Amino acid sequence: MKNGKRTLPVLWIALVLLIGALSAGIPVNDVTNAQSGLGTPSSVIVNSASETGADKVSTDLLDLARDPRTRGNRVKVILQLKDSPSGSLNSFLHRSDVSIKRQFQNFNAQALELPATVVEKMAAHGEVKFVSLDRESGTFGHISLTTGADAVRNTNGVTTTGLDGTGIGIAILDSGIDPTHTAFLDRNNGRRLIVNKDFTGENRTDDPYGHGTHVASVAAGNGRISSADYIGIAPNASIFNLRVLNSVGTGTTSSVMAALDWVMTNHTLYNIRVVNMSLGTPAVDSYKNDPLCQAVRRLVDAGIVVVAAAGNNGKDSYGNKIYGEIHSPGNEPSAITVGASNSFGTDARGDDSITTYSSRGPTRSYWTDASNIKHYDNLIKPDIAAPGNKLIGAAAPGNYLLTTYPDLDAGVSTLDNYQMMYMSGTSMATPVAAAAAALMLQANPTLTPNLIKAILMYTSQPLSGFNMLEQGTGEINIEGAVRIARLVRTDLSSLTPLGSPLLTTTTAPTPQTIIAGQTFTWSQGLILKYDYATGIDLITKYQKVYGSGVLVSDGVMLSNGVLVSDQTMLSSGVLVSDGVLVSDGGVLVSGSIFLSSGVLVSDGVLVSDGVLLKDGVLVSDASLGGDSIAQAMSAATNGDTTKVINLIVDTGVDCLNY
């Protein structure tokens, strides 16, 4: 830019236009803060964003592009586009020093490698929406009875084939799956790994790392081993092995996006209804700009349920609680984000708690305006919690995790294709929820992802002593969720009027479930962005936020700085509460306020429980995409106190009547 050639009137016009653009794009509660930045010299304001494209570059990438120590390096990035590249941008992308690594068929995005020095120049083109680093991603890492899954497969105490995921495809984006393990056979000895694809470049789809095999068995492992003691939640679902993490458990944003791109292209052909993402990367950019979040939204809008791990950064090295560590794509509003609970090895749920390592909300991803002011998403996450501590699942033979941490061997069998191992983390909780969604879809294939998410939240069990930023609405309850799924009308559509009957019955289901002789009451509420909604209308009347192409959180809007219900999206019987609640062991709405909404939705630094929420900076193992493997492995061997589990050692005789 040549400032010396600009006339004074032109400068004033540019400044006025910039002020207008800033005011138009900033939420009500952020206008004052943003305008405070207008006291800087006009030349600084113009240079900082509008002409260099800096406002369309993620902060960590911008640092690399401007730091004298790194700006000479080549960087791998994800380029998101508004329109197809043309003219000067097309020429730029065909420069000799720019390499296109991947183009995504269903997302208007590309993976590139280019000099850091030219990132801002590329971002300045009008067709560019956002540019971010191709960040590393990594893993986070008696169940069928305690979650309520057994209850949907039992009639008068007798196990039947019932709901077992038959016909529903679950895509497992992970470190691969061992194809020889007995846990993945069907009742006719056929393999349920329908498709195996590698996106890491290692040209293999087995599981040398060991994470994906365990995750897949929690979701869909059969009951052949040890008389079905370690059966998965949906034991006959079709499994799609999409390997995005390499032999040491790491991957890239672009490899994960490539797998999501494949799902988007092929989901109708294979009836893939659910995607499990027991992985993550630091949530730096707002979900509005994050390429993984944008890809997830595209899938959800197409009718695919996406379930994501919250992360394992709930405490620091001193054991103190940490808030604000939800990872991407768990920070995406349309995803079902899952935290980890501890069942303590018991079927009854009265002693269940949230694990110390499970990441807490709110989401601290952000966008930066032209005045360099950060605006945090601050969404309440996770959405729900599920058992994730010391789960026993299938072990790939000779895998890295088991070899490195031999105490993870559950001692169930010495045979390679029968071996089981312990693992802990939100990675293990996520497939519980993903498989629950598969059972709900088997019961009622017409359910939308938003409705599945709403039902899972509404029927969950609030755990005493934990706030919403730790557990969402509560611990998953598959019995209650499937019971409602069976009652939901199958003729609902975008044309269904707001407030129409949601169920095929006029009598609302009793909001209670009995597991292992204990009765608990459902949460009977939904998390809506910053707040909590309750009311019988949520389950008896059709809400527009249950449709496709919208968000469940679209039912809440900001009006003059106050959060109110949007009654074009939510019926008048839905009540929106004020703040994040602490459960008293009953209904969450009866708990005490943990943070008022006025605090939660503000920008800046939040303080809660005496612990400072990171100001958009993650203190985690960045090499593993925000996951602390040390915490997950420690939890699996010593971690959160776990009662002794009576292991059922495999006899070597397959149990076929599971």
Q: What is the mean pLDDT of residues 142-167?
A: 73
pLDDT of residue 641: 57
The one-letter code for the residue type at 341 is S
Distance, CA of 347 to CA of 344 (rounded, Å)? 9
pLDDT of residue 654: 65
* Digit-coded pLDDT (tens) for 250-300: 999 999 999 999 999 999 999 999 999 999 988 999 999 999 999 999 999
The phi, psi pair for 84, rounded to 5°, reads -65, 140
pLDDT of residue 94: 92
The pLDDT confidence band at residue 205, using thresholds 50, 70 and 90, is very high
Contacts of 517 (CB under 8 A, 6+ apart): 348
pLDDT of residue 649: 65
pLDDT of residue 40: 31
pLDDT of residue 145: 82
Residues 333/379, Cβ–Cβ less than 8 Å:
yes
The pLDDT confidence band at residue 388, using thresholds 50, 70 and 90, is very high
The pLDDT confidence band at residue 158, using thresholds 50, 70 and 90, is very low
Catalytic residues: 174, 211, 427
Q: What is the mean pLDDT of residues 411-418?
A: 87
Residue 588 to residues 310, 448, 531, 584, 622, Cα–Cα distance (Å): 21, 25, 12, 7, 34
The phi, psi pair for 270, rounded to 5°, reads -105, 0
Distance, CA of 598 to CA of 614 (rounded, Å)? 19
pLDDT averaged over every residue in the chain: 82
The torsion of the CA quartet 264, 268, 272, 277, rounded to 10 degrees, works out to: 10
Contacts of 378 (CB under 8 A, 6+ apart): 362, 363, 364, 530, 600, 601, 602, 603, 606
Q: What is the mean pLDDT of residues 464-482?
A: 93
pTM for the predicted model, two decimal places = 0.83
Report CA torsion sign: 425, 281, 385, 366: positive
pLDDT of residue 531: 83
* pLDDT(634) > 70: no
* pLDDT(70) > 80: yes
Residues 255/109, Cβ–Cβ less than 8 Å:
no
Q: What is the per-residue burial (b if ≥16 Cβ within 10 Å, else e) of 602-641?
A: ebeebebeebebbebebebbeebbbbbbebbbebbeebbe
Neighbours of 432 (CB within 10 A): 32
* Range scoring the smallest mean pLDDT among 6-10, 99-103, 175-179: 6-10
pLDDT-above-90 percentage for the chain: 57
* Digit-coded pLDDT (tens) for 352-370: 899 999 999 999 899 988 8
Which has the higher per-residue pLDDT, 325 or 434? Answer: 434
pLDDT of residue 592: 73
Instruction: Go through the domains of the chain in sequence order and give each one's CATH number.
Output: 1-51 (no CATH), 138-637 (3.40.50.200)
What DSSP state is assigned to residue 47?
I
Max mean pLDDT among 155-159, 176-180, 640-644 falls in: 176-180
The pLDDT confidence band at residue 116, using thresholds 50, 70 and 90, is very high
* pLDDT(17) > 70: no
pLDDT of residue 218: 96
Residues 240/426, Cβ–Cβ less than 8 Å:
no
pLDDT of residue 436: 97
